[in-house]
Amino acid sequence: MLPVPPSVMSSPIGSRAQRMRLPIFTQKGLLEVPSPTEKDWPKDDEEDYVFKDPDQELHSLPQPYRMINKLVNLLFDRSWEVIEERDTLREAELSRIQPTVYPPVFESKFNKMPNCMAVSQDYVFIGGAKGFSVYNLYDAKRMYVWDKLKVDVTSIWATDLGSETLIAPVDEMGVIRLFYFCKDSLFFIKAINEVEDTSKQTTCVKMAISKGGDFAAFLLQGAGDIWLDVYRLPKESWLKEVEHPQLTTNPKKRVRQPQLNTLDPMTSDNLEMDINVCFKGDIKLSLPIHIMKIKPPKPVTGTTFKSPLEVFAKIEDLYGLGSGQNHFIKDSQWEQQAAIFNAMYKKYLDGECEEEVPSMATFHFLLPSCITMMPTEVKSPAGVACVLGIHWTGYHNFFLYSLNRTLKDKVDPEGVWPFAAPIAVSKLSNSCSYLVLACEDGVLTVWDMAEGLPIGVVALPEGCFCQSIIFLKYFLVLEGQNVYPEGRPKSQITCVVLCTDASLHLVVAKATQEPTISVLVERPVKHPEEAICAVVAVLTLPGMVLTFSKGGSVHLLDVAKRQVVCAFAPPRPYRLAVPWEPVFVVSLQHPYFLLRGDRPAETGPTNDTDDSQNSVFYFHFNAYPLVENILRNCIVSQVDLMEDMAFPYVLPLEKRCENLLQKR
């Protein structure tokens, strides 16, 4: 071998060649002579070598290119992680069992978006442009349109009064009007808060009507103030006035007969409709009687009393006791307590103060019970509300006001229920027998109003806060199927709680046992589009609720089995325009629910003569195989329950005592 000249060894080319001949794997530590036999070679010989990139031996990038190189490599690594995660989710999605999706059975088309819906008896009331329309629940045929307004209707209530219906639409100006729907005739009663001076116009925020329609309450807001107006409804007088009508005799204020203008285009359904509802605006009905006006409780401030005797003298017949209004705490004590609090939590209080939100009210009409006992001289008919329960946002108290009063009487609460934390949500059952109060600390209290005692206190899991409460009609699981017993047991309820984190919980309370709470649907972490936005009970199906998710899907959930039975969806290309606030209504007596679907806006100019863009879809549970069997066998007779000893608590008290004596 010839020696290499020194000039070649010192040249850059020779140096580059030498570097490129460096081994890729370099052994760590000192080199040793290997054993002549392979048996003596170490098995972990590969771990003694480290990988060295030849490019790193050739170049060392200067700054800032070295930093750019690291960022690019990091970007590629994270992109690859995202790709792998999406592939995993896609594979998991394909492996998931998708529920059966059922289409609607009827469709009502509109060329302007319907804003709200309500169902009462066999009729559907849909609020939209310039008024509301009346539809038949069974065939989706339009019966009448009332379109006398200059603005749209944004919300509508319909309350069953027996064979009649009380309708209360609210327009964009916040004006609420009462209509009486009786014997296929529509009667206008009164606009509750309509005024001639628009600068003094108040807005109706919320309303409630008692079971049976004897009382109504309207939460009004205006001029920076908010209050609750309570009315007595003369429904007996309305029946007499409808049977023996009296025409209005005021010539200055003549009611204009509305024209039957359609809110939606003349589709095939509308061409076959029967206009069998008439508006009788010339018949005068009795007006509701205003009985009291309730304002939010005053903030607790320092006392002006000089002695405790003056405090007790202020309270007449113990009315308002527990509300915190009449006390013997001075201003200096409040200031001292506030100073101590601000000093302890100064780091949390620093920053901009949020704008104070006006206090809102939630109110319920309560039937006579052990809790809502009235004076002996006051006699309230059975099944007629006698007390209004109300709580205000940010306050710890639940106030009880008697409904047997006049506007001249002093408005003081007859009872006060204080709680350890502000009341966030409350819900009264459809039978008015149970009341659930949820506080801001996540504690729920279940009251049996008929017996006059709390039957359970449960706490939601840590970090969960109540958003809404849904009562379920009491049901049993008999032979693997949910059924309604003919004789409903007392002091046993089942309700579903939707939390602010989109998780769903099941609460079961019995008077003889400790209440239980379990998770129905966990908070969706990997699938945010599955977050539940609204839940409603289907009273015609035992143990079933409808869930509306953020992604626009509608599922029928069996709470006993904790599984989805089926799904419902409008036909393509319709979808839910605002899935987190779906427009829907579920019938309480019939196996129907209605859902508004919106067609995606198409590019290009459109006009009112084009095809309708919005529809209301009718879903009938009897038309779907997976639900039909549940409806067919949803009620179990008392005789079958007596033969099955697995449910002794649903038997009458006499039968339970007889079975107990026979065992002994």
What's the pLDDT at 78?
A: 92
The 10 Å Cβ neighbour count of residue 290 is 13
597, 576 Cβ separation under 8 angstroms: yes
Tokens of 14: 């020779």
Helices (H) and strands (E) in the chain, counts: 12, 39
pLDDT score of 491: 77
Q: What is the pLDDT of residue 280?
A: 78
The whole-angstrom separation of Cα 373 and Cα 115 is 41
Do the strands 443-448 and 504-510 form a parallel or antiparallel pair, or are they unpaired? unpaired
Q: Specify the pLDDT at position 223.
A: 83
Rounded distance between C-alpha atoms, residue 302 and residue 279, angstroms: 57
Q: Which residues of the chain have pLDDT under 50?
A: 1-2, 4-25, 248-274, 603-611
Query: 423-426, long-range: CB within 8 Å, 24+ apart, which pairs?
Result: 423/362, 423/391, 423/395, 423/396, 423/397, 423/398, 424/393, 424/465, 424/466, 425/362, 425/466, 425/467, 425/468, 425/469, 426/362, 426/364, 426/389, 426/391, 426/398, 426/469
- Kind plus residue range of the DSSP H or E element containing 203: strand 203-209
Euclidean distance between CA atoms 391 and 323, whole angstroms: 11
The whole-number pLDDT of residue 498 equals 94
d(CA 184, CA 275): 10
Please tell me the predicted confidence (pLDDT) of residue 20. Answer: 45
Question: pLDDT value at position 320?
Answer: 55
Condensed to tens digits (0 to 9), the pLDDT of residues 176-216 reads 999 999 888 899 999 998 888 878 889 999 999 998 889 99
Residue whose C-alpha is closest to residue 559's, from 623, 504, 513: 504
Name the residue among 433, 434, 457 with its Cα closest to residue 445: 457
Q: Which of 398, 401, 405 is nearest to 421 (CA)?
A: 398
Residue 175 and residue 131: Cα distance in Å, rounded? 12
Joined together, the tokens standing for residue 68 give: 């750019």
Taking the C-alpha atoms of residue 80 and residue 638, their distance in angstroms, rounded to an integer, is: 63
The number of C-alpha atoms within 13 Å of 333 and in the hemisphere containing its C-beta is 8
Count CB-CB contacts under 10 A for residue 123. 19
- C-alpha dihedral over 404, 409, 414, 420, to 10 degrees? 120
Q: What is the CA radius of gyration of the chain?
A: 35
Distance CA 185, CA 182 (A): 5
| Cis geometry, peptide bond prior to residue 489 (ω within 30 degrees of 0) | no
Q: In angstroms, rounded to a whole number, what is the distance separating the alpha carbons of residues 501 and 277?
A: 45
Dihedral angle computed from the Cα positions of residues 415, 420, 424 and 426, in that order, rounded to the nearest 10 degrees: -40
Name 529's Cβ contacts closer than 8 Å, sequence gap at least 6: 549, 550, 551
Domains along the chain with CATH numbers: 106-243+275-291 (2.130.10.10)
